[in-house]
Amino acid sequence: MDRVSSFDEPLLKLLGGATAKVMAEHLDLHTVGDLLHHYPRRYEERGKLTALADLPLDEHVTVVAQVADARILMFNNGRGKRLEVTLTDGSGRLQLVFFGHGVHKPHKELIPGRQAMFAGKVSVFNRKMQLAHPTYQLLDASDADEATEAVDAFAGRLLPIYPACKQLDSWRIAKAVDAVLPSARDAVDPLPASLREGRGFTPLPEALLKVHRPQTKADVEDARARLKWDEAFVLQVALARRRYADTQLPAVARRPVADGLLDAFDAKLPFTLTEGQEKVSKEIFDDLATEHPMHRLLQGEVGSGKTMVALRAMLTVVDAGGQAAMLAPTEVLAQQHHRSITEMMGELAEGGMLGGSDRGTKVVLLTGSMGMAARRQALLDLVTGEAGIVIGTHALIEDKIRFHDLGLVVVDEQHRFGVEQRDALRSKGKQPPHLLVMTATPIPRTVAMTVFGDLETSVLDQLPAGRSPIASHVVPAKDKPHFLARAWERVREEVENGHQAYVVCPRIGDDAEEAEGKGGKKTKARKQAADEDPEKRPPLAVLEIADELRKGALAGLSVEVLHGRMHPDDKDDVMRRFAAGDVDVLVATTVIEVGVNVPNATAMVIMDADRFGVSQLHQLRGRVGRGSAPGLCLLVSEAHEASPARARLSAVAATLDGFELSRIDLEQRREGDVLGQAQSGVRSSLRMLTVIDDEEVIAAAREEAVAVVAADPELEHLPELRTVLAALLDKDREEYLDKG
């Protein structure tokens, strides 16, 4: 056990309270093992200067550069002092600025010709890149012992630059790593010996030493290749075990029935299914016909017809004597699904009712805000089996709800549902029901293999005929205010042509803290902060923007609001009137992100678009261009032209391909965010592996993992792999994976 315990040793014991506290709070590093797996982001060569020309805005950076010039400036009638230092590296220049009492030490140390490492957040002042109050470490020889030591430590070596935070610089992290590095020899190796030797990998302790303190670039390559494999393999083993466990569960096979509900439904469809829909339906029907639970992920572009595919699967299950439940993330969406499914089914959705089809079934809606009488009737229809299809929100998984025979669960927008909720719903069947998960956020294949590795994947990448193209443009509201004025003119033109528009804002507004009275001071403080720095202003709000538009740019048009704090009846009323064409412009939060289908809406203006993620913008944009008229999406932003936020918006404007966008999204974010969202507990174990670039490693690791689990499902002959898995999946995480 000693071999494991040195990795489990708390950092507090080795590093002292202050450093350990910062590491825990800001970098999520708690143990020796955590710190040893906190790998350098990149390496600087001693004496080689970083390219200042490529510094990213708004990010914490570490640069190695030379002082070109340093001067003290007075301001405020001589009462204030400012030290300005110019750095150079041949590729560009960067300004450092120090204020007040903080100028004395750097003024003595940062003299022209000196070389040092600097860390801070890149900002723009007077159109120049700068670091305000950066921390720094001199790299030239000087009298001070510490500086000499630093030179010795770095001379002739590759300088590791660690992911750092404001409170802890890269070189302080490097010192902490030195303190724990001897523990690397106790590393438990998760790779089976045959795999390790067969692929010629460096032993794990050696890989850890090489990644933190490489002598050469070849050391870095060696270490990275090995550590990437560990991450990919351990995660794929966890997923392979989960898939294996699922195949051992019993389920009721639900086979299609001739001349049943599905055939009647297909016969009345006014259009032909796309090739993709036919293919994916077959995959699902094959799964439903087996005697262990289907676990399938159905992903496809906005508007590719996922709901149609899911409905046909539900009808098959009803034909086979079972019931199907569809979970939606919001009441608005549950109501929308209920409406569109009953419309698509017509008299087939009125089983047992006057005028209903004798082959029909009942389609019931169940949400938290329903009246008691309607709710009681819905519950009765579920328990008697009268209702073959139920559509609802989380209300569907309350304890008191009972099904007659739940055969299929369809989860819409997977990332909004906790695993515990999916599990609670699955426990409602006599045996585990089949599970179909739908997502409208296209996921690159590698991510699907890593994040949803326990689910079989079906992809719908064809759009049905009749969908119109959507033109997207970035509107730089700060640099070119006349562009924003033109955006509102475009909205007016769309309305004059008989169409409708959405305006989306990140916030509802009128928060309790912003109300007059108690929160008055906060409002003033916020306004002041916004005046000084636009980045600090709160995101634009639905209620404020709607008010401004009614009085200004869109005066005379019918402008309504929609947001999550409204009463469900009011929300439904607004949506109905918008769908009926009685409302010209709907100012909303992201409640319209998924499922809202108004073919007459052709324009969308997204305010503060840089505050949304790439996939969310793609989802929102999918609400327009749903009819025969072309769509228009305007992404309004005050972000600086050189910022990552603007680059993200330009990428969204440049392509309508969701799979391409999801790759861009991943390249710009850390995989941990993606994994964290989708895998809850699996502590983002990806430190070295980049899901988007390491497709071959992931695919190969998956093959090896499947073979290992098939041969030894309990990993009885691989105790080291079991140990590492246990560390990755603590009790909560283990349960999380078990639940799928």
Query: Given a cut of 50, is residue 679 above it in pLDDT?
Result: no
Predicted pLDDT of residue 446: 65
Predicted pLDDT of residue 595: 56
Q: What are the backbone dihedrals phi and psi of residue 722, each rounded to the nearest 5 degrees, phi first?
A: -60, -40
Q: 539 or 212: which carries more pLDDT confidence? A: 212
Q: What are the backbone dihedrals phi and psi of residue 605, each rounded to the nearest 5 degrees, phi first?
A: -115, 120
The winner for highest mean pLDDT among 167-181, 485-499, 525-539, 711-725 is 485-499
What is the strand order of the sheet 559-562 is part of? 470-476, 631-637, 601-606, 500-504, 585-588, 559-562
Helices 170-180, 17-27: inter-axial angle, 10-degree rounding: 110
Predicted pLDDT of residue 604: 95
pLDDT tens, 426-445? 677 778 889 898 887 777 76
pTM of whole model > 0.75? no
Predicted pLDDT of residue 247: 80
Predicted pLDDT of residue 324: 93
Query: Given a cut of 70, is residue 512 above it in pLDDT?
Result: no
The answer to whether residues 537 and 529 touch, using CB atoms and an 8 Å cutoff, is yes
Cα separation of 460 and 5, whole Å?
48
685-711 average pLDDT score? 82
**Mean pLDDT score across all residues of the chain:** 80
Query: Given a cut of 60, is residue 525 above it in pLDDT?
Result: no
pLDDT level of residue 680 (50, 70, 90 thresholds): very low
The answer to whether residues 578 and 586 touch, using CB atoms and an 8 Å cutoff, is yes
Predicted pLDDT of residue 559: 94
How many Cα neighbours within 13 Å face the side chain of 111? 4
DSSP 304: S
CB atoms within 10 A of CB 475: 23
| Percent residues over pLDDT 70 in the chain | 81
Cα separation of 592 and 293, whole Å?
32
Cα separation of 635 and 618, whole Å?
11
Query: Given a cut of 90, is residue 390 above it in pLDDT?
Result: yes
Q: 360 or 495: which carries more pLDDT confidence? A: 495
| Residue 730 vs residues 237, 300, 567: alpha-carbon distances, Å | 15, 33, 41
Return the structure tokens found at 405: 């025979």
Q: 674 or 146: which carries more pLDDT confidence? A: 146
Helix (H) or strand (E) holding 295: strand 295-300
| 3-state secondary structure labels for all residues of 542-588 | HHHHHHHHHHCCCCCCCEEEECCCCCHHHHHHHHHHHHCCCCCEEEE
Query: Given a cut of 80, is residue 588 above it in pLDDT?
Result: yes
410-431 average pLDDT score? 68
pLDDT level of residue 355 (50, 70, 90 thresholds): low
Predicted pLDDT of residue 505: 93
Q: 67 or 350: which carries more pLDDT confidence? A: 67
Predicted pLDDT of residue 729: 65
pLDDT tens, 157-197? 678 888 888 888 887 898 899 989 998 888 888 889 888 88
575-602 average pLDDT score? 85
8-22 average pLDDT score? 84
| Residue 135 vs residues 60, 110, 125, 138, 563: alpha-carbon distances, Å | 11, 12, 19, 10, 44
Query: Given a cut of 50, is residue 316 above it in pLDDT?
Result: yes
CB atoms within 10 A of CB 678: 17
Query: Given a cut of 70, is residue 114 above it in pLDDT?
Result: yes
Cα separation of 334 and 412, whole Å?
10
pLDDT level of residue 528 (50, 70, 90 thresholds): low
Predicted pLDDT of residue 77: 77
Predicted pLDDT of residue 502: 95
Q: Considering only 66-80, 604-618, 721-735, which range has the smallest mean pLDDT? A: 721-735
Q: 596 or 191: which carries more pLDDT confidence? A: 191
pLDDT level of residue 282 (50, 70, 90 thresholds): very high
Burial 386-408 (b: 16+ CB within 10 A, else e): bbbbbbbbbbbbeeebebbbbbb
Predicted pLDDT of residue 669: 60
Task: Write the single-letter amino acid at 106.
Answer: P
Predicted pLDDT of residue 249: 83
Cα separation of 676 and 685, whole Å?
10
pLDDT level of residue 489 (50, 70, 90 thresholds): very high
Look-up: residue for tokens 């030591």? Answer: 149
Cα separation of 639 and 21, whole Å?
34
pLDDT tens, 287-312? 999 998 888 888 887 667 888 899 99
The answer to whether residues 401 and 366 touch, using CB atoms and an 8 Å cutoff, is yes
DSSP 350: B
Predicted pLDDT of residue 464: 64
Query: Given a cut of 60, is residue 609 above it in pLDDT?
Result: yes
Predicted pLDDT of residue 495: 95
Cα separation of 290 and 544, whole Å?
54
Of 553, 550, 552, 551, give the one whose Cα is nearest residue 561: 550
Task: Write the single-letter amino acid at 61.
Answer: V
| DSSP string across 496-542 | HTT-EEEEE-SB----GGGSTTTTHHHHHHHHHHHHH-GGGSPPPBH
Predicted pLDDT of residue 463: 67
Query: Given a cut of 70, is residue 715 above it in pLDDT?
Result: yes
pLDDT level of residue 280 (50, 70, 90 thresholds): very high
Predicted pLDDT of residue 681: 38
Report the residue count for the chain. 740
pLDDT level of residue 223 (50, 70, 90 thresholds): very high
Cα separation of 230 and 725, whole Å?
11
Predicted pLDDT of residue 106: 87
Cα separation of 581 and 600, whole Å?
8
9-32 average pLDDT score? 86
The answer to whether residues 208 and 187 touch, using CB atoms and an 8 Å cutoff, is yes
Predicted pLDDT of residue 132: 85
pLDDT level of residue 313 (50, 70, 90 thresholds): very high
440-467 average pLDDT score? 71
Query: Given a cut of 80, is residue 125 above it in pLDDT?
Result: yes
522-533 average pLDDT score? 48
- Provide long-range contacts, Cβ within 8 A and 24+ apart, for 396-405: 396/325, 396/327, 396/366, 396/425, 397/327, 397/421, 397/424, 397/425, 397/428, 401/366, 401/428, 402/428, 403/323, 403/325, 403/428, 403/429, 404/323, 405/252, 405/321, 405/322, 405/323, 405/429, 405/430
Q: Considering only 80-94, 250-264, 678-692, which range has the smallest mean pLDDT? A: 678-692
Return the structure tokens found at 734: 């283990």
The answer to whether residues 597 and 340 touch, using CB atoms and an 8 Å cutoff, is yes
The answer to whether residues 9 and 31 touch, using CB atoms and an 8 Å cutoff, is yes
Please list the residues that pair with 131 across neighbouring strands.
96, 122
Predicted pLDDT of residue 357: 60
Predicted pLDDT of residue 356: 52
Neighbouring residues of 94: CB distance < 8 A, sequence distance ≥ 6: 52, 55, 63, 65, 86, 87, 88, 129, 130, 131
Query: Given a cut of 60, is residue 677 above it in pLDDT?
Result: no
Cα separation of 726 and 48, whole Å?
42
